[in-house]
Structure 1
Amino acid sequence: MTGGYRELAATLRDAIVRGEYPAGSTLPKQDELAKLHGVNVKTVRNAVSLLAAEGLVTPVRRRGTVVRDRPPMRRLSTDRYAKSKWKYGDVVAFIADREASGQEWKRTDQTQTVATAEADAEVAEAFGLGIGAPVHERARLVRDSAGKPTHTLTSYYLPGDVEGTPLVDPTPGPAGRGGGFAVLTRQGLEPDAITETFHSRMPTPEEIAVLELPAGEPVMVLHRTTVTRDGRVVEFARGVHAASRFAWSYTFRIPE
């Protein structure tokens, strides 16, 4: 083959998708790829860099260029929040995603750190507070069954809504039976509607470390606002997801 690095990247990408280079395998050395495809090593290097930026491969020291495992977690749409799961059962959102993806889980796959914090601009706007007002912060890191981080989720609450409840308990796992939504319901603050907004960006150095991200992988950022039937905000949450570890699936009726 002759051509530029984008053409070579396309050829290698197709080979990966076909399973010629399965997940966990190592691509041939760069000089071997250059000889095989009739290009120079610089072209190979640029093609591999492009595939790495796409999240298909990752360079591993002393091993080479490894094809990444890409079994995306299926993240359900509204079904992950169904009241049948948490109000009448004990399945919180991250567990619903695991079950929908056919993946094993245990409650302690979710860590938990709780603290009193000062509302930043986004949190303050969500609750209608002044910047710096005290809020309760509940931060979670979720790992898959193999121990690999998949995402973080940090929820904010008005302190008076959650004082003395399991939402201030740092024990790993969901906040008791049914998780946080069930706790809010027992407080007379039953969640009724959720607004979720997603956007993508490149991760911060801290996020790269926490989520163990390879070079070039972006993150998907979630903002979630949960309100009661009368429109009272009871939770504002921010999630940061490793982009290649999730597939978002939405099913809804088309509005008239």
Structure 2
Amino acid sequence: MATSGYRELAASLRTAIRQGEYPPGATLPKQDELAERHGVNIKTVRQAIGLLEAEGLVTPIRRRGTVVRERPPMRRLGAERYSKRKWKFGDTVAFVADREASGRSWKLTDQTNTVRLLSADPEVAEALGLSPGAPVYERARLVKDGEQPTHTLTSYYRPEHVEGTPLVEPTPGPAGRGGGFAVLTLQGYEPDHMTETISARMPTPDEIEVLNLPAGEPVMVLVRQTYTADDTVIEFARGVHAASRFAWTYTFTLPD
């Protein structure tokens, strides 16, 4: 039966993708072939493909055509990824925990590292209990899964907490064994609890380029404040994650 309308064509292709007729990494038939098969014109096919692209199911790749996006996404274990047994008593930093939970291979240089001393913007200043414009260390990372960027994470610290430590060295990868939390612990600022706030929005042009995002894909934004047992804030972090590249999982005890 001929398909009438781009929404109906999109629904047909969506079903075929989800049922495995077009598996991850497969290329959809050419647009003229789809038009002939479904009894529609090229404009309708383009509209249908555009709808699937906006949903994050497919992405156009030059010289290949319309490609079904890879799944499943990376597992991001909420509280478990910060377990002290991983970084305090082992050497598994948070991004490595995600990859191990997802059965992915990894290497320490999958995380880049850029450090600079700068003036705190109002959000960073408020989070760290400083005046706007006060000096802070910024540690910006881009994290990849193989060659595919998954997210950026930028942390901010009071200089007196991290001066002279591996956290302010530009070496790619984590800040030594156990990463940044282990460094803070050695400085006398052991992480004890944190607050994470997660929201979604459309990416900026820079984020589209850095994360290699297809058209229409949103980002998940994580804002994190980390504290010692006596409520001293020791880190403020902003993370920007490609929405389709993560599944966020939280396991917790229900409060009384």
Matched, 1:170 2:170: yes
The CA distance in 1 between the partners of 2:7 and 2:189, in whole Å, is 54
Matched, 1:3 2:4: yes
Matched, 1:207 2:207: yes
SS of 1:20's partner is coil
What is the match of residue 124 of structure 2?
Answer: 123
What is the match of residue 112 of structure 1?
Answer: 113
What is the match of residue 51 of structure 1?
Answer: 52
What is the match of residue 94 of structure 1?
Answer: 95
What is the match of residue 196 of structure 1?
Answer: 196
The CA distance in 1 between the partners of 2:249 and 2:39, in whole Å, is 41
Deviation at 1:209, TM superposition (A): 1.1
The CA distance in 1 between the partners of 2:21 and 2:96, in whole Å, is 33
Matched, 1:69 2:70: yes
Q: Which runs of 4+ in 1 moved over 4 A?
A: none
Unaligned runs of 5+ in 2: none
The CA distance in 1 between the partners of 2:234 and 2:66, in whole Å, is 46
Deviation at 1:243, TM superposition (A): 0.8
The CA distance in 1 between the partners of 2:64 and 2:4, in whole Å, is 27
TM-score calculated relative to the size of structure 2 = 0.97
Deviation at 1:51, TM superposition (A): 0.7
The CA distance in 2 between the partners of 1:95 and 1:26, in whole Å, is 31
The CA distance in 2 between the partners of 1:177 and 1:61, in whole Å, is 41
The CA distance in 2 between the partners of 1:187 and 1:62, in whole Å, is 53
What is the match of residue 227 of structure 2?
Answer: 227
Unaligned runs of 5+ in 1: none
Deviation at 1:3, TM superposition (A): 2.9
- Cα shift readout 1:203-228 (whole Å, capped 9, x = no counterpart): 11111111111111111111000001
- Cα shift readout 1:83-120 (whole Å, capped 9, x = no counterpart): 00001111100000100000011111111000001111
TM-score calculated relative to the size of structure 1 = 0.97
The CA distance in 2 between the partners of 1:5 and 1:112, in whole Å, is 45
Matched AA of 1:6: R
Deviation at 1:39, TM superposition (A): 2.2
Matched AA of 1:140: R
The CA distance in 1 between the partners of 2:3 and 2:178, in whole Å, is 58
Q: Percent identity?
A: 74
**Number of matched pairs:** 255
SS of 1:200's partner is strand
